[in-house]
Chain A
Amino acid sequence: MGTAEIAVRRRNKSERLDRVGRLARGKFVSPKNVPELLKQIIEHGDIVCLEGDNQKQADFLANALASLDRKDLRDLHLVMSCITLPAHIQLFKKGMVRQVDFCYAGPQGTAVADLVKAKKFPVGAIHTYNELYARYYIDLTPRVALIAAAKADRKGNLFLAANTEETPAIVEPTAFSDGIVFAQVNEIVDKLPRIDIPADQVDFVVEAPYPMHLQALFTRDPAAITDVQIFMAMVALRGIYEKYEVQSLNHGVGFNTAAIELLLPTYGEQLGLKGKICKYWMVNPLPTMIPAIESGWIERVFSVGGEVGMERYTAARSDVFSTGRDGSFHSNRAMGQLAGHYAVDMFIGASLQIDINGNSSTVSKNRITGFGGAPNMGCQPTGRRHPSKAWLKAGAEASPGPGALPGRKLVVQLVETFQAGRVPTFVEELDAQDPSIKKALHGVAPVMIYGDDVTHIVTEEGIANLGACRSIAERQAAIRAVAGYTPVGLKRSKRVTQDLRARGIVQLPEDVGVSPSQVSRSLLAAQDIKGLVRWSKGLYDPPSQFVDW
């Protein structure tokens, strides 16, 4: 951009602010004036960032925007990480959106699939989190960002509380390019506990009539963990965590990994692994980690977001969790994703579908969910240079070559061979490869994690070490070998499976010293939510839907 153009942006911003006139008193806007103010500060065709994070939602501002019509605002280019709320879907139904660039649409996945079918979802691309934040600085810089904070002071400084999430990653590129930052807050106070966003970067503040919506995403009730999940957790602990001495890691948020967290103080302790594995984590404050933290397994946790009910516990354990000067929990999605990419030795998570090449996806024809953060962590960080035991060991197993990295990150898929309702996890081809979905995404199938990045697949049948495979055919055979009695698994050759097992590329549970007769619910350090509360010494406050006492 030349200086003339920059000047235009700056002049345009002051024109917008002039139009606001008496709709605001300084930076402060009354809730009833918000729809009219949005009409004045947003112009047709603008790039607008509507903060919808994985957890917190600028829902009051989203509802205000959705209360407008095409005649008020049109051709908007929405940039937002998560399409979460009905109000987000309204903007498309009303025809106000020219393009959308996003990451994840979990709760609205079905609505998004319907919009795609109706050709009312003009998508640029589905991104991974850091990919989208990076584009905010380059070619998707918002003209207006509508964000959510916990509190503001009278100058417009913002406090983000436990859910910092991606607010800084939205505000900085907007504020430093003459964009307009408009924050909804739960409360305006005289003095903030700490300042997370300086008033200098904030143009407008509204005290919303209701507190922002927070999704309780990561609470897993130990009572719902199954015998099979406990069994798989034991196999993973011995076959991966112990074998590679994994010290730094990221966990997905499913029941499979929750089982592993709850086995550390029991089964892990019996195996003598305390202090040898699982010391450093990039993960949200999962309630199921409380027993391992209280048993002294965990040195450090950094989080991309908070979790409802964990506020008092995390504040009390500031030796483990990141906390502000005020003592309360702090998170940061962009930095957490960066840490999950470069600073951990293992990503382990689950997926809805895995194809015979190890590609995985959570997209189906009737539900388009996108990615979120998994691909930033479930991939090989080829810019990594620092060694660790796990990284070097996985690297030594991979195909050698003069141009190859010396190490590899462990990228592990922990899945049961069937999902609920007897739907096979393993498929010959992903639903994400459906021509209509690919067409809507300009030819790019929404693959979450690519097979080339995956080092291991763990199922109840055993472990496939894809990182040690020497050919595509070998990788496919290894996947079929652990795909159980799904159609993909039934096609395996017994002779080839035996050969892979002899070479350690396929390992059965007994090969890593796990016997099904060891499986017992009593191995879970907590049996239910109440057990987690007890471990936390009463500091964990579970959301009401999890409380039955």
Chain B
Amino acid sequence: MEKFTKAFPSKPLRVPKDRQWALAGVVGSGNLEVMFERAARASDTMECHVETSIPGFRDSWLAALADFARHYPVGGTKVTIHDQGAAPVLVNLRLRQAYDHLVKTKP
């Protein structure tokens, strides 16, 4: 088990205020859960909380999250990740799915 928290610079989220959160994936073997929530904090950072069952991949997580924050306007959100040994290729997909849910679907 490894836990870490970090904030990344990002452009402000442009989504109606009534959309408070979005979720993708599940906590299950080889899978992960990604949850976006609106944060009260600065609107120019994405705050990340990662909990992963497989230690030793912190650098890869940070690189993937930094790229994501740079690529998508997610400033003013808090993202919580519970990883149960998901393949690295699944991480980005779940992040993008959760973001899509946040910006496209009704709450």
Contacts and interface: CB of A to CB of B under 8 A. Distances in A.
Contacts of A369: none
B93 A418 contact: no
A517 to B, nearest CB: 3
B29 to A, nearest CB: 13
Given A231-B93, A516-B96, A517-B97, A418 B88 contact: yes
Interface in A444-479: 459-461
A59 interface: no
A485 interface: yes
A517 B101 contact: yes
B100 A461 contact: no
B88 A485 contact: yes
Contacts of B93: 227-228, 231, 460, 516, 519
Contacts of A418: 87-89
A515 B100 contact: yes
A485 B87 contact: no
Interface in A490-549: 490, 515-517, 519
Contacts of B64: 485
A517 B87 contact: no
A417 interface: yes
Contacts of A101: none
B63 A228 contact: no
Contacts of B89: 228, 416-418, 459-460, 484
Nearest to A517: B100
B contact face: mostly helix, strand, loop, or mixed: helix
A224 to B, nearest CB: 12
Interface residues of A, number: 19
A138 B59 CA distance: 55
A459 B92 CA distance: 12
Given A416-B89, A418-B89, A519 B97 contact: yes
A506 to B, nearest CB: 13
A442 interface: no
Contact of B88 (A226, A484, A515, A516): A484
Contact of A422 (B87, B92, B96, B104): B87
Nearest to A508: B71
Contacts of B60: 485, 490
A519 B97 CA distance: 9
Residue picked from B54, B57, B60, most chain A C-beta under 10 Å:
B60
A228 B100 contact: no
A306 B104 CA distance: 46
Interface in B8-64: 54, 57, 59-60, 63-64
A484 B101 CA distance: 23
A417 to B, nearest CB: 6
A485 B59 CA distance: 9
A416 B86 CA distance: 13
Interface in B56-107: 57, 59-60, 63-64, 87-90, 92-93, 96-97, 100-101, 104
Contacts of B87: 226, 228, 416, 418, 420, 422
Nearest to B64: A485
A422 to B, nearest CB: 6
Contacts of A422: 54, 57, 87-88
Contacts of B63: 485, 490
Interface string A119-137: 0000000000000000000
Interface in A410-454: 416-418, 420, 422
A319 to B, nearest CB: 39
A517 B99 CA distance: 9
Contacts of B104: 517
Nearest to A516: B96
Contacts of A515: 96, 100
A46 B59 CA distance: 58
Given A485-B60, A485-B63, A417 B97 contact: no
A51 to B, nearest CB: 39
Q: Which of A228, A420, A515 has the most B CB atoms < 10 Å from its CB?
A: A228
Contacts of B101: 517
The CB with the most chain B CB atoms within 10 A, among A227, A459, A461, is that of A227
Question: Which one of A227, A484, A485 has the highest number of Cβ atoms from chain B below 10 Å of its Cβ?
Answer: A485
Contacts of A231: 93
A459 B93 CA distance: 12
B30 to A, nearest CB: 9
Given A422-B57, A517-B104, A228 B97 contact: no
Contacts of A519: 93, 97
Nearest to A510: B96
Nearest to A420: B87
A422 B100 CA distance: 26
Nearest to B103: A517
Nearest to B87: A418
B100 to A, nearest CB: 3
A415 B105 CA distance: 31
Contacts of A485: 60, 63-64, 88
Contacts of B59: 490
Interface of B: 54, 57, 59-60, 63-64, 87-90, 92-93, 96-97, 100-101, 104
Given A231-B93, A461-B92, 15 more contacts: A226-B90, A227-B93, A228-B89, A417-B89, A418-B88, A422-B57, A422-B87, A460-B89, A460-B92, A484-B89, A484-B92, A515-B100, A517-B97, A517-B100, A519-B93
13 contacts: A228-B93, A417-B89, A418-B87, A418-B88, A422-B54, A422-B57, A460-B93, A485-B60, A485-B63, A490-B59, A515-B96, A517-B96, A519-B97
Interface of A: 226-228, 231, 416-418, 420, 422, 459-461, 484-485, 490, 515-517, 519
